[in-house]
Amino acid sequence: MDLIDLSAHSPDDATRGMFLDQLCQKLELDYASYAAISPVTGTVQGYANYPDDWKRFYTKSKFHLIDPTLALSARSIAPVDWKRFSSHEGFDKVFGPARDFGLFSQGLTVPVRGPFGDCGLLSVTRECVEGDWAKLKRKIVGDLQTAAVHFHDAVMQDDSVARVMRLPRVSMREKEILQWVAAGKSQQDIGDILGISHRTVEVHLRSVREKLGALTTPQAVGRAIRLGYIQPE
């Protein structure tokens, strides 16, 4: 999945908005939004590509205080289908008016927990029949997980204190594997060289990409070289 690499851009709203637009386009979604809940102040910071009049109405009505897709999803470890909120009072209060703005209340929220009690929520919606929705969810949920953690980590890096605190802690094995990737070896080769399964190589690559805020392995290699974790070939 090709998405804008948020960690390579200065933190501006336009880039983040474009990221959400791209996500919708690639994953066949109608709308996407991201909200971060600060563990210290409880304030919500958000980005969304919903129609502007709905965003204004949502903010003016202070819906973020009662919207269960935020407060409750933050307490799940798994993506939460909004069906789970259908009998929730706050859900009707928010999504009743949403229908007047032409929005459909079929959606999914992917919660991301950060290391310092921070929490990010990537929500997506799609208007379609239930069977198609179930199929679409299965197809895209892995990509949504990757996109959610990427977005959250980028937002959390906004201030300089956070940037220092969140310096990636990359393990020896992760460095070793990235070094072999930089040398042009395939995952299978690397597994053979290190005497581990290719799945172990894969899970370490997934981890080190996320630690380095990279969406792709080449981006991760570039960043690891710049940080001095590995040597350029």
Cβ of residue 1: shortest distance to another protein, in angstroms? 13
155 touches 118 (CB < 8 A) = no
* Distant-in-sequence, close-in-space partners of 88: CB < 8 Å, separation ≥ 6: 68, 72
Interacting residue with another protein among 157, 200, 217, 219 (CB under 8 A): 200
| Residue 141 engages another protein in binding (rule: CB under 8 A) | yes
| Residue 188 engages another protein in binding (rule: CB under 8 A) | no
Query: Which DSSP string do the residues of the chain spell out, in sequence order?
Result: -----GGGS---HHHHHHHHHHHHHHTT-SEEEEEEE-TTT--EEEEE-S-HHHHHHHHHTTGGGT-HHHHTGGG-SS-EEGGGGTT-HHHHHHHHHHHHTT----EEEEEEE-TTS-EEEEEEE--S-HHHHHHHHHHHHHHHHHHHHHHHHHHHTSSHHHHHHT-----HHHHHHHHHHHTT--HHHHHHHHTS-HHHHHHHHHHHHHHTT-SSHHHHHHHHHHTTSS---
Binding mask 154-183 for another protein (x = CB under 8 A): ---------------xxxxx----------
Interacting residue with another protein among 207, 219, 222, 225 (CB under 8 A): 207
Interacting residue with another protein among 144, 154, 190, 214 (CB under 8 A): 144
The count of residues interacting with another protein (CB under 8 A) is 39
| Residue 225 engages another protein in binding (rule: CB under 8 A) | no
Interacting residue with another protein among 11, 102, 142, 218 (CB under 8 A): 142
| Residue 211 engages another protein in binding (rule: CB under 8 A) | yes
Binding mask 95-134 for another protein (x = CB under 8 A): ---------------x-xxxx-x-x---------------
Binding mask 60-79 for another protein (x = CB under 8 A): ------------x--xxxxx
**Which of these, 121, 31, 142, lies nearest to 69 by C-alpha position?**
121
| Residue 39 engages another protein in binding (rule: CB under 8 A) | no
Residues found near another protein in the complex (CB under 8 A): 72, 75-80, 84, 110, 112-115, 117, 119, 138, 141-146, 148-149, 169-173, 196-197, 199-200, 203-204, 206-207, 210-211
